[in-house]
Each structure stands twice: as C-alpha cells, then as structure tokens.
C-alpha cells in the first residue's frame, strides 16, 4: 500500500494525482488499490480538485483495449459503493444525457451516485 500511496496520492494524501494519458493504469488490481488507499487515508470528499463542472478526468485506465476515466468529482460515498461491488462485472449504462458511456458495477446495473466513471 505504501508504494500505491507514494505513486498515486498527492503529497498531502488528500487526493489522487491526476493520471495523464501516457501513464494510464493498466491493471484492475492497481486501480482498486488506488481507490481503496484514497478512501482509507483521505478526509476529502472528492478524489481530485474539482472544477466548476467536475468533468475533469482524474484517473485514466486502459484495460483489454478499452479506455476509461474517473472524474475528479467522484465522491467518498461513490468510491465506497464502487469498491463494495468490486467483485461484480462492469456494466455500460446511459449517462444523464442518454449516452451509453457510464460505468457501474451494481448488480441491478443502476448508476452509483457520486461515482463518475466513463468509457471513452
């Protein structure tokens, strides 16, 4: 966990560092470890520093030829729910605008409030 914290959390350990496209996460296990480490250590409400609209990719993931982002405004509650369902598959569902690009891992394929992960 120490290596994950050093590499992926900000120096003050309040947020997850913004991951550039060139440094995408390529391991689902590392992705879950980053979220879990942040959830345990940070007292902040969101994984990143939020812009007014929150649509800033904080984490970039590349798995099996698919690319995903988790936005900076994802919350502690949303991350907790996503981690609780980590053994479930990921499902592609419609976002608020009706575009099928949002990711969830709930059994009933419902959106996770406060967790903003998208396929790009």
- The domains of the chain are located at 2-119
Return d(Cα 67, Cα 64) in angstroms, integer. 8
User: Can you tell me which residue has the tokens 């903003």?
Assistant: 116
One pLDDT digit (tens) per residue for the chain, 120 residues: 799 999 999 999 999 999 999 999 999 999 999 999 999 999 999 999 876 666 799 999 999 999 999 999 999 999 999 999 999 999 999 999 999 999 999 999 999 999 999 999
Return d(Cα 91, Cα 110) in angstroms, integer. 9
Q: CA separation (Å) from 62 to 13, 14, 68, 76, 111? A: 24, 24, 6, 23, 21
């Amino acid at each position: 966990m120490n290596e994950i914290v050093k590499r992926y959390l900000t120096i003050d350990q309040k947020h997850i560092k913004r991951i550039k496209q060139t440094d995408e996460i390529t391991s689902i296990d590392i992705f879950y470890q980053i979220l879990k480490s942040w959830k345990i250590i940070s007292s902040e409400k969101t994984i990143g520093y939020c812009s007014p609209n929150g649509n800033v990719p904080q984490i970039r993931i590349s798995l099996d030829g698919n690319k995903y982002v988790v936005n900076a405004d994802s919350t502690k509650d949303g991350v907790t729910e996503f981690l609780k369902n980590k053994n479930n598959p990921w499902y592609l569902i419609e976002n608020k605008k009706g575009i099928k690009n949002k990711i969830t891992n709930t059994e009933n394929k419902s959106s996770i409030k406060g967790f903003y992960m998208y396929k790009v």
